[in-house]
Amino acid sequence: MVDVPAQLQSVTRAYRTEERDGEEMHVQSLEQTYPAALTDVWDAVTSAERIPRWFLPISGDLELGGRYQFEGQAGGEITACEPPSDGTGEYSVTWESMGGVSWVTVRLAEEGAEATRFELEHSSRTADVPAEMWETFGPGATGVGWDGGLLGLSLHLGGVEGSLAPSEAEAWAGTDEGRSFYRGAADGWAVAHAAAGEDPAAAQQRADATYGFYTGTGQESGQD
């Protein structure tokens, strides 16, 4: 059992577009505060031994300039790494998948001796995202996947009650509990998309499609 409502409510989601080096970017971010010390959270998100406990098996050279590969998922290069100092820590990587490149930055900030704010920012060139895909799913296409990552980290660090091994996540998506998680996460991205200026009805339609994709249920209404 996983405390799905508590996890969904603990995550702050945001979406925006911005210009970088003359190109328009989609920028998504998720934030959650975990009940763990900064050094413990840093270890959890940078250690090849701990990452598979909450996310995916990883291989490669996990240091600045090194390359990494998640099993069955993206790989890339570690482009920046600032270990914890003065209450913060940060690293950035390229996120290379299916022939495309986007960028992920993880920022940590101490919020007391035993609390750490985790922020993940995922940026991609607007031109690199197929128009049909964006029109169908919106920011939830990748955002909901990251919600799953934050859930895994939250369970690993004791941020939410429950237990769910990464190897069980795919089957869990088809359970009532899993569907409630993906429904709530998809709806959360609809809210973030609408807050950025998208028509709320269009944002919700894309959230419905995203929910259907992640759960294999087809497009469902927001009242599931």
Question: pLDDT tens, 168-193?
Answer: 998 999 999 999 999 999 999 999 99
Q: How far is the C-alpha of 61 from the C-alpha of 174, rounded, in Å? A: 35
Q: Indicate if the pLDDT at residue 46 is higher than 60.
A: yes
Assign 106 a pLDDT band (cuts: 50, 70, 90). Answer: very high
Instruction: Quote the pTM value.
Output: 0.93
- Please name each of the domains of the chain with its CATH number: 4-215 (3.30.530.20)
Predicted confidence band at 1 (pLDDT cuts at 50, 70, 90)?
confident
Residue 23, CB-side half-sphere exposure with 13 Å CA sphere: 12
**Burial class of residue 106 (count of CB atoms within 10 Å of its CB; 0-12, 13-18, 19+):** middle
Q: How high is the pLDDT of residue 221?
A: 44
Residue bearing tokens 């069980």: 168
| DSSP string of 67-126, one letter each residue | EEEETTS-EEEEEEEEEEETTEEEEEEEEEETTEEEEEEEEEEE-STT-EEEEEEEEEEG
* pLDDT tens per residue across span 54-98: 999 999 999 999 999 999 999 999 999 999 999 999 999 999 988
Query: 107-121: buried (b, 16+ CB within 10 Å) or exposed (e) per residue?
Result: bbbbeeeebbbbbbb
Helix (H) or strand (E) holding 30: strand 23-34
